[in-house]
Structure 1
Amino acid sequence: MTDVDLVVDFLNTVDHDAHTDVLSDPDAWRRWLADRGLADSTAVRAVRSALRAAVGDPVGSPAGAAAAVTVELAADGVPRLVAADVVGAVLAAASRLAVLGQWARVKICPAGDCRWAFFDRSRNRSRTWCSMQVCGNREKARAWRSRGQVPR
């Protein structure tokens, strides 16, 4: 799993459109962790909220977050950030994205009924919506209707 996948998947453990939260379902949360080979942590909700706020979620709680992460020199001679739990793994992945200048590409869809996290892969980093076919189209249609234009 890539750093982008881990961070975006973690941010999307809450689905505002479907009104679901993986963290509120112990079985779903255990499956999520097992699928990624990660251990649980006590600060999961606070870190998710802080990370979501950091990438633009208007209802996230902007706060600091910390986790124990170590640097390990692997047998292949490549240094790696290693974490003991999910919070450390997600923050290490986010740190690697920041070091690579990719953190600003992690965004939250501005549609009020969506707020899905996504990674902006556009060349000029200008993508706004998680999906142009769903949220972007819906928002553009709303704007068009609010301008009083009617189809002929």
Structure 2
Amino acid sequence: MPVPPEDVSLVVDFLNTVDVDRDTDVLADAATWRQWAAGRGLDPDPVDDARQARSALRRAVGDPLAAGPSPSVAVRIELRATGPELVAPTVVSAVLAAASRLVVRGDWERLKICPADDCRWAFFDGSRNRSRTWCSMRVCGNREKARAWRERTGR
């Protein structure tokens, strides 16, 4: 069963509302947060709730620096002509519903956090054997391999 790109992009985009490399955070400003939510056709949750949800999700995906309590949100299930559907009008509930669908499909493990300390970008590992480590081999992976080579060779 193919992974719905809208589920992946919503979860990854939400996880990446913080950018370590650029030192920016969409959730640092309520107006920016409202704009981000509106761009996805969703109602914004209170900023503190969104921060808590993002931190818990990043921790669950593998970010060792994310901390905090796990959120609890309400979602509705509506029976439609196509079958049961999770109805989630706010960003946090929509993200958690999308993440739940990824779990059900067996794709949760494909969500990863780049291990580079100066990056920590969330990404979806689309490789066949789920072995991708870096968000980008050209940037973070190359930088880390060059660093390890310099350490081994003393250069």
Tell me which interval the TM-score lies in, with the shorter structure as reference length: over 0.9
TM-score (norm 2): 0.91
Q: How far 1:30 moved relative to its partner?
A: 1.9
Aligned pair count reads 149
Amino acid in structure 2 at the alignment position of 1:27: A
Structure 2 distance, partners of 1:149, 1:123, is 35
Deviating 4+ runs (over 3 angstroms) = none
Q: Percent identity?
A: 64
Query: Which range moved further: 100-109 or 57-66?
Result: 57-66
Amino acid in structure 1 at the alignment position of 2:23: H
* Aligned: 1:70 with 2:83: no
Q: How far 1:147 moved relative to its partner?
A: 0.5
Structure 1 distance, partners of 2:65, 2:6, is 27
Quick one: which of 130, 135, 154 aligns to 1:130? 135
Q: How far 1:57 moved relative to its partner?
A: 0.5
Q: Gaps (5+ residues) in structure 1? A: none
Structure 1 residues 62 and 107: alpha-carbon distance in aligned structure 2, compared to 1, 3 A threshold: farther
State the match for 1:15 in structure 2: 19
Deviations 1:31-69 (A, max 9, x none): 211110111112100010000000110111153221111
State the match for 1:147 in structure 2: 152
- Partner of 1:107: helix, strand, or coil? strand
Amino acid in structure 2 at the alignment position of 1:37: G
Structure 1 distance, partners of 2:26, 2:65, is 18
Structure 2 distance, partners of 1:37, 1:128, is 32
Structure 1 distance, partners of 2:78, 2:94, is 14
* Aligned: 1:56 with 2:62: yes
Q: How far 1:83 moved relative to its partner?
A: 1.1
Deviations 1:99-143 (A, max 9, x none): 000001000000000000000000000000000000000000000
TM-score (norm 1): 0.93
Query: Which range moved further: 19-28 or 130-139?
Result: 19-28
State the match for 1:6 in structure 2: 10
Q: Gaps (5+ residues) in structure 2? A: none
Structure 2 distance, partners of 1:116, 1:103, is 16
Amino acid in structure 1 at the alignment position of 2:142: N
